[in-house]
Chain A
Amino acid sequence: MPPAASEPASPVTYLNATRGVRAWLLTRDHKRIALLFMALVTLNFLLGGLFAMTLRVKLLFPGPFMIEPITYNRIFTLHGVIMVWLFMIPAIPTIFGNFMLPLMLGAKDLAFPRLNLLSFYIYAIGSLVTLWGMVQGGADTGWTFYTPYSTTTPTQIVPVLMGVFIVGFSTILTGLNFIVTTHTLRAPGMKWMRMPLFVWGIYATSVIQVLATPVLGLVLLLVAFEHAFGWGLFDPAVGGDPLLFQHLFWFYSHPAVYIMVLPSFAVMSEVVCAYAHKNIFNYKAIAYSSLGIAFVGFFTWGHHMFVSGLSTFDSGVFGVLSMLVGIFTAIKVFNWVGTFYKGSIDFRAPVVYVLGLLFYLVFGGMTGIAVATTSLDVHWNDTYFIVAHFHFIMVGVTIMAFLMGLHYWYPKMFGRLYPERAALVASVVIAFGFVATFLPQFLLGNGGMLRRYYSYPEKYQALHVLSTAGASLLFLGLATVLTYLVVSLRWGERAAHNPWGSKGFEWLSATPPPPSNYEELPRFTGEPHDYSTTEPQAVTEPGAPS
């Protein structure tokens, strides 16, 4: 296309190639779909966060306050359901995975662009059904839907179950799309062992999504049937087995923890290399440990059931396997820290999030070893210790990775810079607020404070107040980030092509990328994350078939 003669026209990017609501809502461009997901996922995150704040305010007082017990129960259920299925599971894969995966592989789009759009609408419908269920009366079972309580509760649980069931299809389709894309759309020279670590992480996640999510769909459907028609599946009063539900549910939901954190690890590996300006300590260790987690993670579900009536022998088996899955995470942690060694570290907001993620992951992971220790879990199961543990490892890690990815890729996605100083302040407030929220909850758990408690013995009040104060700080930090990122969309400084000097393959395309990602098909010649040379990592092949 010849440039306009009169004035330097702004380059054609995926953002300005076509205009109008229709062009966005019916787009098949993976980058635009990523932004559609970003809008909806962020809305859900806000909603889940508002529920969390409501819970924290109620818990300022040990007795009845502000809301009724039934309202409290509905709110903690929706907080869990929204945060797990509508925020943490889709967040990084559907936004950054969607946007970056084809760019990193040198592809023009995902393998199935229409399926990608369908995945977005399934997600939107699932979200709406869940919210509709909330308006209809809402479920009060907790996000774990334990039977036979869930099949006998008088609340409107079926719409919520169906909402999550529907969202599951979005997860499966997106995972399938990523797997096929990784296998078939790698550009010339993109060997498996040359794939950026982000791709490895997203690939491992996709495998779990495709294998585990159908089990969740099945079990949620069965709970809905028992609730609606009285089928005797899980309730012993009508011939069912209550533990069957827990086995099926955790067979999905334990791997689901890795569906949430593996994408975070994937972002972390990219960001650590980019800001340390250093090759990853051990590429293969990071890549294979993702696959290791994806595999062993399927065989540890029983550690959620040590006090449920599992046999002693089974508890032992699940206990050992749970220790093994911990080692893969430890490998990643040491590799990230090792990457900083002899690097050239550019201290910006994402590095604060890197430090936050390391702390939450090690603390959350080690307390994971603690609760996987059979004898100690007898005390900690269902207490705030568990709540604090999984908030550290799932929520803390996911939020840190989400925010570091958002800042690192913000120029790539929007062609603008965010204000660095405000970002640094907000990142410190968030990292500190998170610790202040959940560290007291570990102590509450030690003292015997139980999760899902509307009223609690008075001796726990001081720590609850501290936790609520921390949550307010966290909320303030997140609101700041949202504000300056939205403002920067229009008023942010224009970004250079590669403002961080990153060697990530996604930066090989223009910033922001044109609709087809690469004007000319790249051929990859160098290793990923290689900062030991200034040689280009890819050459373009003019006229190559695309």
Chain B
Amino acid sequence: MGAPGSGEVGVLATLERVLREVLYLSPAASTYAQRIDRLHFLIILTTLVAATGIFAAAGYFIVRYRRRPGVETTPRFTPRPWMESLIIGVPLSFFLLCFYLGFRDFVWLHNPPKDALDVYVTGKQWMWKFSYPGGPNEVNVLTVPQGKPVRLLLTSRDVIHSFYVPDFRMKQDALPGRYTSLWFEAISAGSYQVLCAEFCGVQHSMMRARLDVLKPEEFDTWLAEHRRGLQARQDGSGGLALPPMAEQGRLLTVKFECLRCHTVDGTAHIGPTFLDLYRRQEKLTSGDSVMADEAYLTESMMDPLAKVVAGFNPVMPSYLGQLSGPEAGAIVEYIKSLRSDQQQPIPAQGPTYAPSGQ
């Protein structure tokens, strides 16, 4: 922000430090926090000034026009149109400005960059599970690289939870039976607290996790080590740990007999093929079209008749209650790995996630 050492920036930085101290706001630890904290200051300061100003005006009138003996009547006062316009116009302009500035960042928050690292997050009473598409699975510790976009795909196994990192100013509810998403970029390495924000029962306030931000090289080493450990354990002891998500998804498609109706070689059968399905634009029987992203694929497992692809019969049964959140996520990862232009299953690459209604 500006040339270091310039006087104006120094004053602003000091002001910002003081404001953070007074408002009890921790330093911004994500790019999102950096974007919105200024607006936070603007609104809170305006609130303080407006509340004090109006209070003071009323207080002044009460003293200035206090009751004096002998006053029987007061003049009837009718406001003029310009006063009305001012009363409505000034606050409304400010409110709409807040909306505009806020919604701009809100849209930004819902459009992750294409190269974001995907991590699947499952909340359950009362813990957080984090799964990397190529492994490993971690409980209550989420490790991410510094300065790289990370996209979280959240779901829940029981009731609604909410993934919240105060220092990042971000939260997103994790709902049972569907996926929601959230992306962030951590500014500096360190450990941050993760809390559950949606009331979920007796241990709600203890449903805490740790978010470790590592330098990119350290993160790569960490990931490689954990995957190697995973491989070693699988080779050594007959698969105590879970296989990587896509492989787990493949096993699930066999177990749940998905492949009786869906092929993986590009030919249509009773249902559409899984090959190249991820991010494909599908025409629906309703005439609309939809992009087969994580949200749509999950919805199609849980509520298959909601959006049927044109040319297919609405015959698929619902797997709601049969597939758990992580299992549905694993199948999505398997579908994502099926690309005709690549021999090997590719690790997850999250292209732009377009939210519905955009």
Contact = CB atoms under 8 A, between A and B. Distances in A.
Nearest to A309: B180
Interface stretch (A182-190, A250-258, A414-422, A455-463): A455-463
A374 B102 contact: yes
Contact of A378 (B57, B59, B72, B170): B170
B201 A366 contact: no
B54 A379 contact: no
A307 B175 CA distance: 11
B199 A313 contact: no
B159 A148 contact: yes
Interface string A519-546: 0000000000011111000000000000
A127 interface: no
B107 interface: yes
B73 A534 contact: yes
B39 A376 contact: yes
Interface string B193-210: 101111111111110000
Nearest to A374: B106
B159 to A, nearest CB: 4
Contact of A309 (B35, B101, B178, B357): B178
A516 B228 CA distance: 88
B40 A376 contact: yes
A370 B47 contact: yes
Contacts of B26: 447-448
A235 B198 CA distance: 16
A484 interface: no
B358 A323 contact: no
B256 interface: no
A253 B198 CA distance: 18
Contacts of A448: 26, 164, 166-167, 193, 195
Contacts of A499: none
B102 A326 contact: no
A345 B66 contact: yes
Contacts of B67: 277, 344-347
Given A334-B87, A344-B65, A369-B43, A277 B103 contact: no
A268 to B, nearest CB: 12
B123 to A, nearest CB: 12
Given A344-B71, A379-B171, A454-B205, A285 B84 contact: yes
A382 B171 CA distance: 10
B76 interface: yes
Given A309-B180, A345-B65, A281 B76 contact: no
B23 interface: yes
Contact of B96 (A314, A323, A344): A323
Interface in B163-183: 164, 166-167, 169-173, 175-178, 180
Nearest to B205: A453
B173 to A, nearest CB: 5
A326 B103 contact: no
A269 B58 CA distance: 14
Given A337-B54, A337-B58, A378-B109, A70 B202 contact: yes
A31 interface: no
Nearest to A279: B76
Contacts of B106: 306, 312, 315-316, 319, 374-375, 378
Nearest to B59: A355
A interface bracket (residues with beta carbon within 8 Å of B): 35 or more
Contacts of B172: 307, 309, 378
A311 interface: yes
B352 to A, nearest CB: 13
B95 A532 contact: no
B82 interface: no
A383 B24 contact: no
Interface in A277-320: 277-279, 281-282, 285, 306-309, 311-316, 319-320
A236 interface: yes
Interface string B92-125: 1011101101111111011000000000000000
B4 interface: no
B33, B44, B99, B180: most-surrounded residue (chain A CB, <10 A): B99
A452 B201 CA distance: 10
Contacts of B79: 281-282, 338
A363 B200 CA distance: 30
Contact of A326 (B95, B160, B204, B321): B95
B24 A149 contact: no
Interface stretch (A6-14, A37-45, A166-174, A237-245): A237-245
Choose among B58, B62, B175, B196 the residue with the greatest number of A CB atoms under 10 Å from its CB.
Answer: B58
Most buried by B among A347, A383, A448: A448
A222 interface: no
A319 B103 contact: yes
A401 B176 CA distance: 42
A126 B110 CA distance: 44
Nearest to B61: A340
B50 interface: yes
A354 B61 CA distance: 13
A351 interface: yes
Nearest to A327: B92
B3 interface: no
A307 B99 contact: no
A242 B160 contact: yes
B1 interface: no
Interface string B48-64: 00110011011101100
B17 to A, nearest CB: 15
B46 interface: yes
A330 B159 CA distance: 39
Interface in B119-177: 158-160, 162, 164, 166-167, 169-173, 175-177
A341 interface: yes
Interface string A56-88: 000000000000011001000000000000000
Given A149-B159, A446-B25, A278 B201 contact: no
Interface string A170-210: 00000000000000000000000000000000000000000
A367 interface: yes
Contact of B162 (A285, A307, A362, A373): A307
A123 to B, nearest CB: 28
Contacts of A141: 199
A315 B105 CA distance: 12
A311 B206 CA distance: 30
B356 interface: yes
A378 B54 contact: no
B199 A142 contact: yes
Contact of B36 (A331, A375, A452): A375
B297 to A, nearest CB: 16
A69 B94 CA distance: 42
B91 interface: yes
Contacts of A235: 176
Interface of B: 23-26, 32-33, 35-36, 39-40, 43-44, 46-47, 50-51, 54-55, 57-59, 61-62, 65-68, 71-79, 83-84, 87-88, 91-92, 94-96, 98-99, 101-107, 109-110, 158-160, 162, 164, 166-167, 169-173, 175-178, 180, 193, 195-206, 302, 318, 320-321, 355-358
The 4 closest A-B pairs by CB, nearest first: A448-B166, A313-B357, A236-B177, A373-B102
20 contacts: A73-B204, A149-B159, A149-B200, A153-B201, A279-B77, A281-B77, A308-B160, A308-B173, A311-B358, A320-B99, A326-B95, A327-B88, A355-B59, A366-B43, A370-B98, A379-B33, A381-B162, A446-B25, A447-B26, A534-B73
